[in-house]
A and B are shown apart, each in its own frame.
Chain A
Amino acid sequence: MSDDHESRPAWREEFSIDAAEDAYVLRRQFTKFLVLTSAGMACGNGWIWLRSLAAAPATPYPAAAIARAADVAPGQVRMFSYPGEHDPCILVRRTNGTLAAFSQKCTHLSCAVYYAAAADRLECPCHNGAFSVENGRVLQGPPPRPLPRIKLDQRGDDIYAVGVEEGDEP
C-alpha cells in the first residue's frame, strides 16, 4: 500500500484546505446566520411600527372641497385624497342620487376598491371582496371590517369632506 503523501501530487501540499472543507458550515456559523435572520425580522417589525406611527391620522379632520355636485352624475364616481394626499378615497353618486364617500383602500390588503354601478356596491378586484355603498359594511369576501366612511357636507354646489368615520369590526 502506498503512502498518502506519495499518492498526492506535490501542489496539494501547498493547499491545506479542500474545497469541500471550505464549504463546510460550522454549527456556530449556521446559528449566526439564523440570528442575523432574526435581527432582520425584528428590523422589519420595527419598520412597520415606525410606519404606523407616521401614518397616525391628524385630528381634527380638516374640511376639504372635493368636487362640485353638478360634476358627478348618477352612477358616476370621483376620486380624491382625504385627509392626507396618500389616502385615496372614492366619491359615489348612487343611481338614486344620494352621495357617499369611502376610503378606497380595501380593509383586507389595501387594494383599491371600485364602484360597480350594476350591483350598486363597492368591489375589490384582488380577492372578490364587496362592500355596501350605503354604509361601507362588508357584503362578501375576506375584508375583516367595513370601509372607513368619509363624512360629507354639501355647501351650495360644493361637496366638502369633513371627517372620517372608521368602520368597526363586526
Chain B
Amino acid sequence: MNPLERRRRRGAIDAAMVCVILLLVVQMWLLTATLESFLAGHRGVAGAAFAVSLCLFLVCGALYLLVVRLDRSDAPEEPPTSSAGPWRMGEPPSHPGM
C-alpha cells in the first residue's frame, strides 16, 4: 500500500472516530433530556427518544465496523516475527540442511 493511500485510510479512521464521539455526545444529551422529561411526567417522548437512540447506536456500530475494516487493511503487510527467530509466527522454523 502506498503512503498516500495509507494516509487517506488513517484520515478516514480518524473522521469515523470523531463521528462516533459526536454521536455519543448527542446520545448522552438525549438520555439526560428523556430522563428529565420522564421524571417531569411527559411520557409521550420516551418512545421517540428510544427510536432515535437506537438509530444513533446503529450508526455508531456501522462506523465501528468501518474503523475495523480500514484499520485491518491499514496494518503492515508483513506479519510480526517473534523474537525467537526470523520465521513467521504460526509456522514451523525451517532449518537449512534439513
Contact = CB atoms under 8 A, between A and B. Distances in A.
A45 to B, nearest CB: 4
26 contacts: A27-B13, A27-B17, A27-B67, A27-B71, A28-B67, A31-B63, A31-B64, A32-B64, A35-B57, A35-B64, A38-B27, A38-B57, A38-B61, A41-B28, A42-B53, A44-B31, A44-B35, A45-B30, A46-B54, A48-B34, A48-B49, A105-B41, A109-B36, A109-B40, A110-B40, A148-B41
A90 to B, nearest CB: 16
A61 interface: no
B93 interface: no
Contacts of A26: 71
A28 B83 CA distance: 25
A47 B46 CA distance: 9
A38 B34 contact: no
Contacts of B83: 13, 16
B40 to A, nearest CB: 5
B71 A38 contact: no
A105 B38 CA distance: 12
Contact of A45 (B20, B24, B31): B31
Contacts of A108: 40
A104 interface: no
Interface residues of B, number: 37
B90 interface: no
B50 interface: yes
A147 to B, nearest CB: 10
Interface residues of A, number: 34
Contacts of A55: 43
B71 A41 contact: no
Most buried by B among A38, A41, A51, A56: A38
Nearest to A169: B42
A116 interface: no
Given A34-B17, A105-B41, A110-B39, 19 more contacts: A13-B83, A26-B71, A27-B17, A27-B71, A31-B16, A31-B17, A35-B60, A41-B53, A42-B56, A45-B31, A45-B34, A45-B54, A46-B50, A48-B31, A48-B38, A48-B50, A49-B47, A51-B46, A108-B40
Contacts of A48: 31, 34-35, 38, 46, 49-50
Given A13-B83, A27-B13, A34 B24 contact: yes
